[in-house]
Amino acid sequence: MNTTEGSFYTGEYRNLFLENGLRPEAIQQRLEDTWNEMFYGAPDVRLYHTMDEDKGYIVDTGNTDVRTEGMSYGMMMAVQMDKKEEFDRLWNFAKVFMQHTEGRYKDYFAWHCKLDGTRLSPGPAPDGEEFFAMALFFASRRWGDGAAPFNYSEQARIILRACVHKGEDGEGQPMWDPETRLIKFIPETPFSDPSYHLPHFYDLFALQADEADRAFWKDAAARSRDYLHLACHPVTGLSPEYANYDGTPAEPQPHGDFRHFFSDAYRVAANIGLDYEWFRCDPWQVEQSNRIQAFFRDIDPADYRRYTIDGQPFDEPSLHPVGLLSTLAMASLAADGPDAGHFVKLFWDTPLRTGERRYYDNCLYFFTMLALSGNYRIYL
């Protein structure tokens, strides 16, 4: 395997489980079992449910609602696993119940709703939109475009068009800040969320979005990579949940204090790992992944907690320790330090989470299972 260029260029994907001595048959079985448990397993494990003849949803079990985060994650899982029925059901639910057809949020998605599709609040969360768009582009390449709403590639372009151009007619706000070209936390806020930054998606958007916007997406990818250098602490590798456009932690918000390394921020390590696997264009990502793994190397997952970004622990335990462990393992796609194999093996020995708080943990778990088995792939 060519390890000097990313998968985008080589078409090859590392299987870190195989590299760490696990058997191919066991790896494939574990991946399939994880899918089956999350989508069709026991009540205290599964997240996916069908609705009517043509819809399905992923439930946030900790809040008993449906979120664009989970719906778009579920679609990405389904397209990676070549599961068209589940993909189409999830997309149909999101399209019917969550996507706005008029007003200031037209073409955006209400970020959460009840299990019956009733919207709980109208505003969007940009991490959902970017995952929807990428999953739709991949679906177009894997299965081909059908009749609306299953004309996947055009649906993706509609979403991205809104993300960039919303507000130019005087109504609404774009999801990317026009000046910095950084993704916002929500369209109305003047700050970002480091875990929303997916430069590996933006490089692919630059090949498939509206031609007039392709330079924007290429620039957004470069700026997101640079931004993560600022948002991640140079010693610990930890990043805040919300951060200003200069990378400094955002001030406390009315709904809480998000200056610290806590739930949202876990995804940064996974995103950096996958970006390195796909594009391998930023050597800093190796150093960053080594740093964050070194910070957690001697901490038992049962003792994960909230941390300041310079590494001071709070008494508050992590709400999602399996999710954090998963992202630390996914960082091994970029890490070349002594801890990379440790986290791969620790992840392999950790089962899916059960119970009320399993949703976020197990979504991150599944992406890690895909990535470390060489199955989180680009479809172009």
Catalytic residue set: 69, 264
Element (H, E) at 306: strand 305-307
Helices (H), ranges, the chain = 7-10, 16-19, 24-40, 68-80, 84-93, 126-143, 152-165, 199-208, 214-231, 267-279, 284-296, 321-330, 340-348, 358-372
- CA–CA distance, 209 with 308 (Å, rounded to integer): 38
CB 66 within 8 A of CB 113: yes
Question: Angle at Cα 120 formed by Cα 116 and Cα 121, nearest 5°?
Answer: 145
Degrees, nearest 5: CA angle 340-14-8? 120
Amino acid present at 168: E
Check whether the bond before 149 is cis (ω within 30° of 0): yes
Query: Could you report how far apart the first and last alpha carbons of the chain are, in Å?
Result: 21
The closest of 23, 268, 7, 350 to 342, measured between CA atoms, is 350
- Report DSSP state, residue 192: B
The CA-atom distances, in angstroms, between 313 and each of 193, 234, 242, 305, 316 are 21, 17, 18, 7, 8
Q: Are 8 and 279 in contact (CB under 8 A)?
A: yes
**DSSP percent split of the chain into helix, strand, coil, nearest 5:** 50, 10, 40
